[in-house]
Amino acid sequence: MVPKLDQARLQLTDVIQLMSPPPLIISTPSFPKVKDFCKDTLLHASSDASKVLGDTQLLQQFFSLPIPAVELHLACIQVRKAEVLHLLALWVTNLQDQGSNKLKLEEVAKLFRCEDMNVLCMLPSDAFAKIKPVCSTYLLSSFGDAHAVIIDAELLATFCKLNFAVVEVWEGLDELSVQNENDVAVLITL
C-alpha cells in the first residue's frame, strides 16, 4: 500500500526514492497519481536547466535521478534547448564516471531524439567522447539497418536531418546492417 502523499511537501529526494528500481509502486492503482506528483516536483525543481547547471546541490540531486525519473522529466519538456541536453549529457557522464551498473545504454539512448544528436555532436570533443556510446546506441537502434533507412521515406527524412558529424559517427559503427555494400554510400551522399 502506498502511503498518502502530500504534493506540497514532496521533494526531489522523494521522487528519487519513488522512481528508483525496483519500482514496487508501479503495480499499484495509484501509480499514475504518484507519477503526476513526481512530474510536477521534477518540473519545479529542474525546469530551468541553466539554474541546475549553476547550482552544485541541484546538479548533484539531478545526478541522483534514476532513468525513469529523467525520462519523465524529459517528457514534460516541449523544446529541448542546448542547456537541457548539456544537463542530460552530464547526467550520463556522471553515471559512467561512477562506474554505475545503472547505465543501460539502450534505456538511456531512448531518452534522446534525432535532433538531440545534432546538438550533442557540438559538445567539446572530450565531453562528446564520454556520451558517444549512448549516441552510437541511439543511432544503431534508429538507423542500424541502412537498407531499411533507404526504403522507408519517413526514416530517410529523419536520417537526412542528422548533421554530417553525426552521420560520421553512424558510418563508423561496426554493427550496421546492410543489404548490399552500397547502402552506406547511398546514405552518406544524400
| pLDDT for the residue 59 | 85
Residue pair 143/170 in contact by the 8 Å Cβ criterion:
yes
Round the average pLDDT of the chain to a whole number and report it.
81
pLDDT band at 31 (very low <50, low <70, confident <90, very high): low
The torsion angles phi and psi of 138, rounded to 5 degrees, stand at -60, -50
First to last CA, the chain: 56
**Angstrom distance (rounded) from CA 158 to CA 148:** 12
145: helix, coil or strand? strand
Please write the tens of the pLDDT for every residue from 86-134.
888 888 888 777 765 556 788 888 888 898 999 988 888 888 888 899 9
Residue with cell string 529523419? 158
Residue pair 41/11 in contact by the 8 Å Cβ criterion:
yes
ω before 21 within 30° of 0 (cis)?
Answer: no
The torsion angles phi and psi of 117, rounded to 5 degrees, stand at -60, -40
